[in-house]
A and B are shown apart, each in its own frame.
Chain A
């Protein structure tokens, strides 16, 4: 059985990775998961300098999912390069680094700092709904997305993967803008902006008022958008949005994803990533699929 996939010229031993922000830098899950067993570890968004993130409460549970407004708290690229990358390499993990910023210059600074690091892909977060400057501001306007993609691509040593926001009218327009800007692949979907009110206290549950919704409740949105983007442009896709099981991962792959990221499921079950991988293998056995690549974008 072949589980190996190739994305943006990089070969991964299997299609399962982690959704940025749900898996720390991998070390947090080591007691539960052999990091080298995953296709790759996608690390939590990292900026040029440390970010404190948003006030608490940052988390709210919703029906079949959750809202978060962490606000990209991160240690900054220096500590990340000194501590987290060597640790992941020691564990023999493939690495996808999620990069965030407030300005184009911030992103470029991080990407340049990573140029000599043993990183497989750079996932560019232009779709976080929880930060005021940067983030989603780049991901909701095709011209801005084109410009930032081009600026990052010009400096990046590793292939870049623009991570798209679902909070747009037409996701294919954004996908095409990223493709035109030179992106090597696409990640989708980031979280869907939501809100929850405590009706007993007449207060917003999240200090930030709004948060990004994730979890199995949003999976149909992810499947639809992956399918649309796969049909509309030729870039390979890392799909994410509500994957809890191997069957969910297969569904996203059939819609057009070459790799699949497990996110919120990690909070429900710290072993979710490896269990998703086992589920993919079980599906392949059941349907006598020799090569996982056969099902990618088969719809």
Chain B
């Protein structure tokens, strides 16, 4: 975990309000693992808290990290306006990342939860299928296809299965031993139930509003079955103990 100024190597818009940024962050890139995130700080002094953004791509050799993010407020809008050569403070890599198993995998991403699954897709060497859920507009799909077979679900049915990622898994008969997933909470909850019903392991990546990113403020907790080692209550810290959790451990509200 390091905090330093990272220079923007490139940035482009790849969908409605979705941006693809590559940062030169050599020390961070050396350590990073799929499923980890970075904290990006705004240059505007009125916005103090870092934005937690998942890592989409790691190139340790070039010393770069790639993030694909959606404009969700003023902070991410400011990031989207930055250009090649601009720099910003970055802290990371943060969080635990996915635990890569050598068992047949189902890699699931929903909406802006899709980007962190790309590096996992790239690094996971076992048999695997990717399931991507979009509202309507597709992004990053082609890149996933260069590493694995991809099944798509869209809410409006404009591509692939009309419905949810679960509908797509059922329709395409996707099977595996381990589910890796990031996306909206209802999707993760449905996958947790699906995994339990089919005796599969599910590693799910959660998000929450956070302040510090390093496990101090206790802003970003999730309810868990086990007591956490930090506070000795049933709350794990998403930034530090997560963001990836065994779905069996998470108490969904």
Determine if chain A interacts with chain B.
yes
For the complex, what is the distance from the CA of A31 to the CA of B2, rounded to whole Å? 9
A residues near B232, Cβ cutoff 8 Å: 50, 75-76, 79
Interface residues on B, range: 20 to 34
Q: Flag if B48 contacts A73 (CB, 8 Å).
A: no
What total of chain A residues lie within 8 Å of the partner, measured CB to CB?
A: 42
Q: Flag if A73 contacts B46 (CB, 8 Å).
A: no
Of A61, A63, A75, A268, which one neighbours B230 at CB under 8 angstroms?
Answer: A75
Q: Flag if A59 contacts B215 (CB, 8 Å).
A: no
Chain B nearest CB from A276 CB (Å) reads: 15
Of A29, A58, A265, which one neighbours B216 at CB under 8 angstroms?
Answer: A29
Q: Flag if B221 contacts A267 (CB, 8 Å).
A: no
Task: Name which residue of chain A comes closest to B208, CB basis.
Answer: A56
A215 within 8 Å of B by Cβ? yes
B60 within 8 Å of A by Cβ? no
A149 within 8 Å of B by Cβ? no
Q: Is the interface of B mostly helix, strand, loop or mixed?
A: loop
Q: Is the interface of A mostly helix, strand, loop or mixed?
A: loop
Q: Flag if B49 contacts A61 (CB, 8 Å).
A: yes
A57 within 8 Å of B by Cβ? yes
Of B48, B89, B234, which one neighbours A267 at CB under 8 angstroms?
Answer: B48
Q: Flag if B231 contacts A28 (CB, 8 Å).
A: no
B47 within 8 Å of A by Cβ? yes
A51 within 8 Å of B by Cβ? yes
Please provide the chain B residues from 202 to 243 with a CB less than 8 Å away from any CB of chain A in the complex: 208-222, 230-235
B residues near A23, Cβ cutoff 8 Å: 216
Most chain A Cβ neighbours within 10 Å, of B89, B208, B221, B234: B221
A194 within 8 Å of B by Cβ? no
A74 within 8 Å of B by Cβ? yes
A159 within 8 Å of B by Cβ? no
Q: Flag if A21 contacts B217 (CB, 8 Å).
A: yes
A144 within 8 Å of B by Cβ? no
Please provide the chain B residues from 185 to 215 with a CB less than 8 Å away from any CB of chain A in the complex: 208-215
A residues near B220, Cβ cutoff 8 Å: 56, 58-59
Question: If the complex has contacts A32-B3, A266-B216, A267-B211, are A61 and B233 also in contact, measured as CB distance less than 8 A?
Answer: no
Task: Name which residue of chain A comes closest to B227, CB basis.
Answer: A50
A42 within 8 Å of B by Cβ? no
Task: Name which residue of chain A comes closest to B214, CB basis.
Answer: A28
Q: Flag if B48 contacts A64 (CB, 8 Å).
A: yes
Please provide the chain A residues from 51 to 71 with a CB less than 8 Å away from any CB of chain B in the complex: 51-53, 55-61, 63-66, 68, 70
Q: Flag if A58 contacts B48 (CB, 8 Å).
A: no
B residues near A267, Cβ cutoff 8 Å: 48-50, 211-213, 217
Q: Flag if B216 contacts A24 (CB, 8 Å).
A: yes
Q: Flag if B46 contacts A58 (CB, 8 Å).
A: no
Task: Name which residue of chain B comes closest to A206, CB basis.
Answer: B209
A270 within 8 Å of B by Cβ? yes
Which residues from chain A sit less than 8 Å from chain B, CB to CB? 21-24, 28-29, 31-32, 44, 50-53, 55-61, 63-66, 68, 70, 73-76, 79, 205, 215-216, 264-271
Sampled A-B contacts (9; CB under 8 Å): A21-B217, A28-B214, A52-B234, A58-B221, A66-B48, A68-B211, A268-B49, A269-B3, A270-B212
